[in-house]
Structure 1
Amino acid sequence: MKGVICLGILLLGQVQAENWPSWRGEGARGAALEADVPAKLEEGSNLLWKAPLPGQGCSTPVVWGDQIMVTCDLEGKDGVIAFDWKGKERWRQHFGEVAGTRHKAAGSGCNPSALTDGEQVYVYYKSGTLAALTLEGKEVWKKNLHTEYSADGLKWDLGTSPIFAGGNVVVALIHNENPSYLLSFDKKTGKEVWKTSREYKAPREAQDAYTTPFVVEVDGVETIVTWGCDHLSGHDARTGEELWVHGDFNPKQQSNWRVIASAVETDGIALVPFGRGEHVAGVKLGGKGDTTKTNRLWTVKGVGSDSCTPVAMNGKFYILNDKGKDRGTLTCLDAKTGGIEWQSKLPRSAAIYYSSPLIAGDKLFAGRSDGTLFSGTITADGLKDVVENELNDTLVASPVAVGSKLLVRTHGYLWCFE
């Protein structure tokens, strides 16, 4: 679509290569095209270091320059730790009491990933705490979204991560029973910039969203694209005003169609995973008002992802099926047509996938919950030269590639390979 430009493209290639500032990296695509990381991961060869983590967390590390930051439980508190590239701890900070988890194996009170602009770090927790810190770990401001706006109405553990939009920090609060909002806060002070109600008709629990919005420029307007409550919506990043909304993702009104995997974008087209991993849809971004009848490009049944957010890159979507009989199937879809380019199957196991896939250079990484991290080379015919890397620790967080280094966060450790 003319006028649709990913904001991340505006950044210099060098900055993209050296930083991973948010959960899915620049543009929220889950791709680091300039990265050159190893496919085979071995402790005795290319493991630079393995730093123990003091408590559980399922968030992905973020990187800015010479600093790596990751949230985790710190002695029963909402915590965040910073490491250098030698694996040495630089600082740690904690806030209020960590919220209890409802999913013992794959959840935590520290699921959302941190966010940084190179000036400050922003962290968000299941407890409702949203806070800003300096790059030295000093608290700048702190607030609680549950007490100030809406109590936690999610059935499971909070998953959405904060983003930058309109020069501010934005958080999506989408859940059943209690009011749902998009919230924008001043980065320096934490003061509310705008608050927009995000209430759409949906059955109970289908109102719950564990997704993270992404930001693109659509027809000259910086737009926050949010997936949840059976609707994909676009809001003006400056004001929070709803620009358009797209529905018809739950025609039979299934009551438990909560969404975990986030929507992603390439070439002005959003991929929307829905139906608990059974469907995906391609939606043309933009328009005004209700675009349900005008902007749906295609819908594919039998291809999908329930927990793992797909990768979007160069007009293609890469989707990891994470549950059921097709668990471990990777599908490459053409963004414009929804046509299947190829499918590859990873070795079967009773373990499922929570970690979202990563593309680094010409390699794709997919992490399984039993600690197996698969890697393979992307070709026109599928994934080739697949390697099984055994980390022997629970793997839920998504891997991160920065330059020649691959960061992997398991329940017990932060690993760095090169």
Structure 2
Amino acid sequence: MKALLATLTLSLFIASTTLAGNWPGWRGPSSNGVAEGSGYPVSWDSSKNILWEVDLPGNSGSTPVIWGDDLFLTTTMEGRNEVLCLDKNSGKKKWSTDFGTERAGKHRKGSGSSPSPAADDQFVFAYFKSGDLACLNREGKIVWQKNLQNIYGEDTLGWDLGTSPVLTDNLVVIACIQSDNSYIVAFDKATGKEAWKQTRNLDAPEEANQSYTTPVVVKQDGKEVIYVLGADHVTAHDAQTGKQIWQVGGLNPGQFKNYRSISSPVVSDGYLIAPYARGGSLTGIKLGGSGDVTKSHVAWTNEEKGEFSDVPTPAAVNGRFYICSDKGDVLCLDVKTGKKIWGDRLPRNRNKFSASPILADGHIYVTREDGTTFVLDQGDQFKLVSENPLEGFVLATPIFSDGKIYLKMTDKIYCIGKK
């Protein structure tokens, strides 16, 4: 009975409870890639079901967020980091605010604004490759700002900053998992005062020390816990103090030096799913415990090299989780066992998948880098419903609000809805 209540608590309180229509962080209202509501379109193209489109001033790979009628996104303009607010219903620009000098990307998919913003009913938080972090109010005024690299040391990642800020009830949290000087830090939302900083230097070889993943905040039994994947480990931290509660190692038993991590973890039904090994493994971890729980809490490991995702993050709900691999293999697996329920390959071309899958109204939405979104049925077998092309280059994950889909290209954003 106690285990059942814990599972129910998790399913009801993953991340912060939000009003219908809000999309406060890059993985949605419950941090698991699941959209609220219904009535989302399943077919569109450049001449069908496009409600509005807006060109952006610069290129970026970040995913937008929504609170109320405000859509927030990050980009760059004229060498500056920029936060842009649009009316989600019309696409009309409400305001833009710049702060900090752009640091350009190294990789062709990288940019100075790959991290996605986060929002709540008072503030929007934006973080950039330059190390600049700022809290803005709903009118675009900077409440506080700081540069994490000036304070805590330079970025030592081999590639471009990818982790996004996450929110607890009263804190904004950033994870910096890199070659050395790895840490997690939390700031008071309203004041920017450092609440805590937790060192996270773990024994992983060379590039495996580097992580581009985003943490997950879960409220369990009334207490918020932060889960972090990277450096061959998953760690759980008390959200109010940053202190490590437990850790799971063994994600890289062969000690491969190039196992940097991009795909983030997902939590559902009392389990954390950890993608790893550059798409070569999945690990299911039962939540709970203290100390090193590798032997006691690793429920299963699934290794089918090349079939899982290196970049896209899984989505999970109702005892199942869904993966879209970089090459377009879509799989449905059981959360508690890791066993594949179904899987097949989407139509192939030379483009890969960087955006993460979203579950909405009984469907699975996955977007390829060339702007084509595939819609599949969320049932008991692989079933492709539609293929929806739009021109552009897509790294951001589509977001869903009040029956509309917002698909951001690197230089443009579309609002898709039924006409």
For the 8 Å contact 1:362–1:378, the answer to whether it is kept is: yes
1:157 aligns with 2:160: yes
Mean Cα deviation higher: 39-48 or 248-257:
39-48
The change in CA–CA distance for 1:144 and 1:235 in structure 2 (over 3 A counts) is same
Alignment of 1:187-336 (within 5 A): 187-218=189-220, 220-302=222-304, 303-322=307-326, 327-336=327-336
Correspondence for 1:90: 94
Shift of 1:150: 2.5
Mean Cα deviation higher: 391-400 or 212-221:
212-221
CA distance in 1, matches of 2:13, 2:28: 12
Q: Deviations over 1:193-248 (max 9, x none)?
A: 00111111000010101000111134553210000111000000011111000000
For the 8 Å contact 2:37–2:403, the answer to whether it is kept is: no
Correspondence for 1:352: 352
Alignment of 1:168-187 (within 5 A): 168-176=171-179, 178-187=180-189
Other structure's SS at 2:378 match: strand
Other structure's SS at 1:206 match: helix
Shift of 1:42: 2.6
The change in CA–CA distance for 1:174 and 1:7 in structure 2 (over 3 A counts) is farther
For the 8 Å contact 2:14–2:219, the answer to whether it is kept is: no
Mean Cα deviation higher: 212-221 or 59-68:
212-221
For the 8 Å contact 1:20–1:62, the answer to whether it is kept is: yes
Q: Deviations over 1:333-360 (max 9, x none)?
A: 1111111111132101111111111111
Shift of 1:180: 0.8
The change in CA–CA distance for 1:251 and 1:12 in structure 2 (over 3 A counts) is closer
The correspondence for 1:145, drawn from 136, 148, 173, is 148
What letter corresponds to residue 406 of structure 1 in structure 2? Answer: I
Runs of 5+ unmatched residues, structure 2: none
Shift of 1:162: 0.5
Alignment of 1:60-79 (within 5 A): 60-79=63-82
Alignment length, in residue pairs?
410
Shift of 1:382: 2.1
CA distance in 2, matches of 1:38, 1:60: 20
Identity across matched positions, percent: 41
CA RMSD, Structure 1 to Structure 2 (Å): 1.6
Other structure's SS at 2:52 match: strand
For the 8 Å contact 2:50–2:415, the answer to whether it is kept is: yes
Q: Deviations over 1:42-95 (max 9, x none)?
A: 332310000000101111110011110100012211111111020110100111
The correspondence for 1:99, drawn from 80, 100, 103, is 103
Shift of 1:369: 1.1
Q: TM-score, normalised by structure 1?
A: 0.95
Correspondence for 1:402: 401
Other structure's SS at 1:146 match: helix
CA distance in 1, matches of 2:40, 2:222: 36
Q: Deviations over 1:127-179 (max 9, x none)?
A: 00010001111111100011101210111111100011252111101100x31
CA distance in 2, matches of 1:216, 1:49: 35
Q: Deviations over 1:364-417 (max 9, x none)?
A: 1111112211112222112332x2211110011000011210000001211001
Correspondence for 1:383: 383
The change in CA–CA distance for 1:214 and 1:101 in structure 2 (over 3 A counts) is same
What letter corresponds to residue 118 of structure 1 in structure 2? Answer: D
For the 8 Å contact 2:14–2:217, the answer to whether it is kept is: no
For the 8 Å contact 1:218–1:285, the answer to whether it is kept is: no
Q: Please identify runs of 4+ aligned residues in structure 1 that moved more than 4 A.
A: 10-13
Other structure's SS at 1:28 match: coil
Q: Deviations over 1:93-152 (max 9, x none)?
A: 111111111112x11110111111110110000000010001111111100011101210
Other structure's SS at 2:207 match: coil
Q: Deviations over 1:241-275 (max 9, x none)?
A: 11000000001100010000000010110110011
Correspondence for 1:109: 112
For the 8 Å contact 1:263–1:272, the answer to whether it is kept is: yes
The change in CA–CA distance for 1:24 and 1:8 in structure 2 (over 3 A counts) is farther
Other structure's SS at 2:20 match: helix
For the 8 Å contact 1:111–1:159, the answer to whether it is kept is: yes
Mean Cα deviation higher: 159-168 or 285-294:
159-168
The correspondence for 2:60, drawn from 57, 61, 65, is 57
CA distance in 2, matches of 1:217, 1:17: 19
The change in CA–CA distance for 1:10 and 1:204 in structure 2 (over 3 A counts) is closer
1:127 aligns with 2:145: no
CA distance in 2, matches of 1:154, 1:321: 24
CA distance in 1, matches of 2:312, 2:48: 29
For the 8 Å contact 1:50–1:415, the answer to whether it is kept is: yes
